[in-house]
């Protein structure tokens, strides 16, 4: 089954809509009594949701027998990076006033920020190596090995979210995203062990 040539532009638009709505709400002062906290929180939520969509792509591709779904991996992966970077920039600007020395000390002092920053570094590595030119330069086996970092990024994202919510004892969303990401990662591991040749392009 061939996907429409409009599929990629439509997916890019869908990935951009949450950011556009977030910026619109910010400019119209529609983020509640604490807009800075709302921007930080909502951008973080969007990044972990995008990660769920990214990891859902492989099960969909394998279970439906539609290898053409792999075309969307790069768009979804860059969306995860974009929202994670936006989350960090909102924190750095709105919470820390772009005081880089204070940010550096805060990263070292608070574990949940350190974990989130580590996940962002790993995401940056994946984003920077997402182009076809880099894949050819690295070689496919090394590129695939590097992009297994998603198995580390997902738990780090959930841990960051958990520690962030721990002070308010609000864990419902943490449990939800943790279960979703855990199930999606488990599927990949089980499928890899059962059908390694079918999983090579995941």
Q: Is residue 99 part of a domain?
A: yes
Write down the pLDDT at residue 1.
46
CA 79/CA 164 separation, integer angstroms: 22
Q: Is residue 22 part of a domain?
A: no
Write down the pLDDT at residue 200.
52
**The tokens of 24 are what?**
């619109």
Write down the pLDDT at residue 53.
95
pTM across the whole model: 0.90
Q: Is residue 2 part of a domain?
A: no
Contacts of 42 (CB under 8 A, 6+ apart): 22, 31
Torsion, Cα of 74, 75, 80, 84 (10° steps): 110
Neighbours of 28 (CB within 10 A): 8
The region, left, alpha or beta by phi > 0 then psi within -120 to 50, assigned to residue 147 is: alpha
Query: Residue 84 is part of which domain span?
Result: 35-194
pLDDT tens string for the chain (202 positions)? Answer: 445 778 889 999 999 999 999 999 888 878 888 888 899 999 999 999 999 999 999 899 988 888 888 889 999 999 999 999 999 999 999 999 999 999 999 999 999 999 999 999 999 999 999 999 999 999 999 999 999 999 999 999 999 999 988 777 778 889 999 999 999 999 988 887 876 555 555 5
Contact of 64 with 49, CB cutoff 8 Å: no
Helix, strand, or coil here: 201? Answer: coil
Could you give the C-alpha distances from 12 to 68, 72, 132, 185, in angstroms and in order? 16, 9, 18, 24
Q: Is residue 156 part of a domain?
A: yes
Write down the pLDDT at residue 118.
97
Count the alpha carbons within 13 Å of 201 in the hemisphere toward its beta carbon: 11
Write down the pLDDT at residue 33.
83
Q: Is residue 181 part of a domain?
A: yes
Q: Indicate if the alpha-carbon torsion angle 70, 72, 78, 82 is positive or negative.
A: negative
Write down the pLDDT at residue 190.
85
Write down the pLDDT at residue 129.
95
Q: How many domains does the chain have?
A: 1
Contacts of 119 (CB under 8 A, 6+ apart): 84, 152, 153, 156, 157, 160
């Amino acid at each position: 089954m061939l996907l429409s040539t409009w599929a990629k532009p439509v997916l890019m638009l869908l990935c951009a809509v949450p950011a556009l709505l977030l910026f619109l709400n910010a400019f119209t002062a529609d983020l509640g009594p604490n807009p800075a906290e709302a921007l930080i929180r909502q951008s973080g939520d969007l990044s972990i949701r995008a990660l769920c969509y990214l990891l859902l792509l492989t099960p969909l591709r394998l279970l439906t027998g539609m290898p053409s779904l792999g075309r969307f991996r790069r768009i979804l992966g860059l969306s995860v990076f974009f929202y994670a970077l936006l989350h960090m920039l909102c924190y750095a600007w709105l919470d820390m006033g772009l005081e880089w020395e204070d940010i550096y000390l805060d990263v070292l002092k608070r574990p949940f920020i350190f974990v989130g920053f580590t996940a962002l570094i790993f995401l940056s590595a994946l984003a920077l190596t997402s182009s076809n030119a880099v894949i050819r330069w690295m070689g496919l086996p090394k590129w695939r090995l590097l992009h297994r970092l998603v198995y580390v990024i997902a738990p780090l994202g959930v841990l960051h979210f958990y520690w962030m919510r721990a002070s308010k004892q609000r864990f419902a969303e943490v449990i939800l995203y943790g279960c979703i990401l855990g199930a999606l990662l488990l599927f990949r591991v089980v499928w890899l062990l059962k059908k390694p040749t079918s999983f090579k392009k995941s």
